[in-house]
Amino acid sequence: MRIFPDPTNDAITAFAYHSTRMERIPISKTDIDHTITGTKINPFLEGQFKATNLIIQLAYNENLIPESVPQNWQQSLEQTSFLKKIHLNLLRTVSEYGAITLNPDVIGVKQVGEWREDRKWINEKEMPSPLLIPHLIHDWWSNLINFHNEYRNKIDMPQLLTEDDIKALVNKAYESNLKLCCIKPFSDGSNRIARCTENLLRLNWGLPLKVIRYEDEYKLPYIEDIKKMQLQYPA
């Protein structure tokens, strides 16, 4: 029988805090307390909590990853529409807050939950063209489906999973994180969406929620892994 982990509140809070701090967004433990109690809501944290709660709900769907590889990129985008829903939960409050304050660093409401249409550079390296995003998502999703099919029976009967199987699942979820970081499917928040997606896969596969801490000793190796993956994604 398939097992779906139930993350603790402490794990959810740690993920929300570190995933947000990872993007150099200045928040504190006090902001967490105030956001949870509703005393003074931090829009970045509230969005991260909403996105995290959504992936926990989505993870319970045994058919999250279909058996058949989509025939084209249009079908892939339909099947991966959950990425847009996660993005909507993550940044809707932030974008509305930014619109009110005219903060130029916050994307507009119309861009939330939509694929990126602008060119983007990270450390002087251009990310893949927005015209490539549908095709890159299609390749990523098709590869993920093929992988999932290899382990589908064991995921449904976790007592059959060996240590090597579990390691393969852990590595594939992390690889999906790195790939989405490189594809940059959204104008803002793609890396946070990537970490949410890694945890969506982990929970769907019976693995615990993962927290990549924002401190340099954890963040820098993660960034190096993203840079290595970027070699597979020319602009």
pLDDT tens per residue across span 73-110: 999 999 999 999 999 999 998 888 765 555 656 677 77
* CA distances in angstroms from 33 to 27, 46, 55, 143, listed in the order given: 11, 11, 22, 40
Q: Quick check: 35 and 46 in contact, CB under 8 A?
A: yes
Q: How far apart are CA 223 and CA 148, in angstroms?
A: 26
**pLDDT for the residue numbered 125:** 83
The predicted-structure confidence for 190-216, as pLDDT tens digits, reads as follows 999 999 999 999 999 999 999 999 999
Q: How far apart are CA 111 and CA 48, in angstroms?
A: 17
**pLDDT for the residue numbered 219:** 96
**pLDDT for the residue numbered 105:** 61
The chain-wide mean pLDDT, for the chain, equals: 93
Q: Quick check: 200 and 58 in contact, CB under 8 A?
A: yes
**pLDDT for the residue numbered 100:** 57
**pLDDT for the residue numbered 2:** 85
**pLDDT for the residue numbered 101:** 58
Mean per-residue pLDDT for 35-59? 94
Where along the chain do its domains lie? 9-230
Fold of 9-230: Fic-like fold (1.10.3290)
**pLDDT for the residue numbered 120:** 85
Mean per-residue pLDDT for 113-130? 89
**pLDDT for the residue numbered 103:** 61
* Residue 160 in this model has a pLDDT that exceeds 60: yes
Mean per-residue pLDDT for 133-149? 98
* Residue 3 in this model has a pLDDT that exceeds 90: no
Confidence band for 121, pLDDT divided at 50, 70 and 90: confident
**pLDDT for the residue numbered 111:** 84
